[in-house]
Chain A
Amino acid sequence: MQKIEAVIQPSKLDAVKDALVEIGVDGMTILEARGHGRQKGHTEVYRGREYSVDLLPKIKVEIVVTDEMVDDAVNAIISAARTGTIGDGKIFISKIDEAIRIRNDERGEIAL
């Protein structure tokens, strides 16, 4: 089992969600987040005063999938979330040791 954390543009959430559901990802967790990557935000001007806004609103999608599904899920996210401009976001993948369904104590991949 692996966890895929994708930080994406807020406007791409629906596209990413649909793409993941289409390839058979059953569950996901969505977080409203703020962050920046290399471009370090932008500047805003209020009555002549410049403010650099380095933390931009983003959406973080968290899913945990079986090892075989990781590539499909990553490809689905990339193709749905890419605009080709700065600020498209990043994907992080990590190993998951255990998954437990709270309702009936099921463990492992069956709990996903």
Chain B
Amino acid sequence: MRVAIFRVFLALLLMLGVGGPMLARQQVFAQTSPAASVSQSDRLAALEKQTATNATAIAAAQSSGDNAWMLVSAALVLMMSGPGLALFYGGLVRKKNVLGTMMQTFAMMALVTVLWALVSYSLAFGEGNAFIGGFHNMFLHGVELAPDPAYAATIPLQTFMIYQLMFAIITPALITGAFAERMKFSSMLVFMTLWTLVIYSPMAHMVWGKGGLLNAAQGGRIPCLDFAGGTVVHVTSGVSALVTAIFLGKRLGYPREPMPPHSVVLSFVGACMLWVGWFGFNAGSALSAGTLATSAFVTTHFAAAAAAIGWIAAEWIRQGKPSALGAISGAVAGLVAITPAAGFVTPISALWIGLIAGCFCYFMVVKIKVWFGYDDSLDAFGVHGAGGTLGAILTGVFANSAINPILGAGKAIGLLEGNWRQLIHQIGGVAIAWSISIVGTLIILFVVDKTMGLRVSEEEERDGLDLSQHGEEGYDWAH
């Protein structure tokens, strides 16, 4: 009974609280309206002022919405490197190399970040020519909080800068899979520094930078569609990985000695984090939180799923068993292939791209690698180089003007819409990415090899990178 009385009392109080001011406002209105002898122009001015205030408020709301999503996306993409890729690669090596392998990825998180602040952001996104940016934004000079409409009109330029940094981190980290278990840590740091400056920055500038040769959104000479980095990230890293694997030579004992993954469990966890992080990678590449982000999010997910099915189906047919490693490798291959296409294709096209990528990358890893005999230890080329190239080309096939009218309203984009030129442009973009990766990587490898040597000694390789490079072990069995 007492409780009921209390509730009624509370309800009355609430009504007073809400209703009171309303009543008061009505009274104020009643008092002022008869006395309203304002002129028409005054009312118009007030209205205009109100409209302007509203427009500012709407812009601020959109900006904070977009910025919220972009900051989360940046964090998601960083999570793809550490722990995602570190776990994925770390599980695939032998246990004497687990820390060395994880450390290579983690080192990129530190090294590339510093480089980015010093010079590589400026080389990628600063004003420059069609091939590379200039030095105007060195030390992040001029990279402030106000948006740069040439890149993203609704988010602070620093958000854009930090988001792009996460891409610059994971790209060289992907290459580490090709030279796993045999490269000197010191040489790797020098190699990656040069690689970031000589290959990543120019490629990012050409595809995404102001006035870039391949920039489709800003009227580049060869408009190549690359939504989230199929050529910039995956083709460059994958092809450079192949070059590095061949240049360094095989691991001691490969392929005679067994070198199975020491923990598919670690790789499994890592791959699942890659999948989740990829939403930031692809949907974040919309650089806003609108419908385009949703479209890219959906296609990303569908492609990953279809590719996992494609890879394990191929495995099941050829080897008799669908493996966990196959399923996660397939998903990653699908994510790679949908990266350039994410904001341009329909969900059903994404299923096709994923399915094709899953089967194609399986074939590259299981057949082609064996035929040629190179030791791409963790299949950085087989998954990223091959999947990235395939995805970039399929983007030219499936791109749909109803999803993203990037070439102008109503203009056909993909081959299926009848625009065969786009396919040529895609192949052109891929060819440029392949060329710069092969030539640039070869030169860097040659220089580093002559000056400080790329490989660890035979004894150090037998001991494993954990002990020989870092003086520690991933797993302590004795305690």
Contacts and interface: CB of A to CB of B under 8 A. Distances in A.
Interface of A: 44-49, 51-53
Nearest to B329: A47
Contacts of A46: 260-261, 264, 323, 325
Interface string B365-402: 11100100000000100000000000000000000000
A48 B325 contact: no
B367 A51 contact: no
Given A44-B260, A47-B329, A49-B255, 7 more contacts: A46-B260, A46-B261, A46-B323, A46-B325, A47-B365, A48-B366, A52-B258
A54 to B, nearest CB: 10
B395 to A, nearest CB: 26
A48 B260 CA distance: 11
A96 B321 CA distance: 48
Nearest to B366: A48
Interface in B256-305: 258, 260-261, 264
Interface residues of B, number: 17
Contacts of B261: 46
A49 B92 CA distance: 13
A48 B370 contact: yes
A46 B262 CA distance: 11
A48 B329 contact: no
A45 B325 CA distance: 10
Contact of A47 (B255, B258, B321, B326): B326
Contacts of A44: 260
The B contact surface, by secondary structure, is helix
B319 interface: yes
Nearest to A52: B258
Contacts of B323: 45-46
B319 A51 contact: no
A52 B256 CA distance: 12
Interface in B333-381: 362, 365-367, 370, 379
Interface of B: 255, 258, 260-261, 264, 319, 321, 323, 325-326, 329, 362, 365-367, 370, 379
B258 A48 contact: no
Contacts, number: 27
A51 B94 CA distance: 14
For the complex of A and B, 8 pairs with smallest distance between CB atoms: A48-B366, A51-B258, A51-B260, A47-B365, A46-B260, A45-B319, A46-B325, A46-B261
Contact of A45 (B255, B321, B379): B321
A52 B321 CA distance: 16
Nearest to A54: B258
A44 B261 CA distance: 11
A44 B264 CA distance: 12
B365 A48 contact: yes
Among A46, A47, A51, A53, which residue has the most Cβ atoms of chain B within 10 A?
A47
B334 to A, nearest CB: 16
Nearest to B325: A46
A47 B319 CA distance: 10
A47 to B, nearest CB: 5
Contacts of B325: 46-47
Nearest to B382: A47
Contacts of A49: 255, 260
Contacts of B379: 47
A5 B104 CA distance: 46
A37 to B, nearest CB: 20
User: Of residues A44, A46, A51, which shows the largest number of chain B Cβ atoms within 10 Å of its Cβ?
Assistant: A46
A51 B326 CA distance: 15
Contacts of A53: 260
Contacts of B362: 48
A69 B255 CA distance: 51
Contacts of B321: 45
Contacts of A45: 319, 321, 323
B238 to A, nearest CB: 16
Contacts of B264: 46
A45 B365 CA distance: 13
A43 B370 CA distance: 18
Contacts of A48: 319, 362, 365-367, 370
Nearest to B323: A45
Contacts of B319: 45, 48
A52 B258 CA distance: 8
B326 to A, nearest CB: 7
A44 B326 CA distance: 13
A52 B329 CA distance: 22
Contacts of B367: 48
Nearest to B92: A46
11 contacts: A44-B260, A45-B319, A45-B321, A46-B260, A46-B261, A46-B325, A47-B329, A47-B366, A47-B379, A48-B319, A53-B260
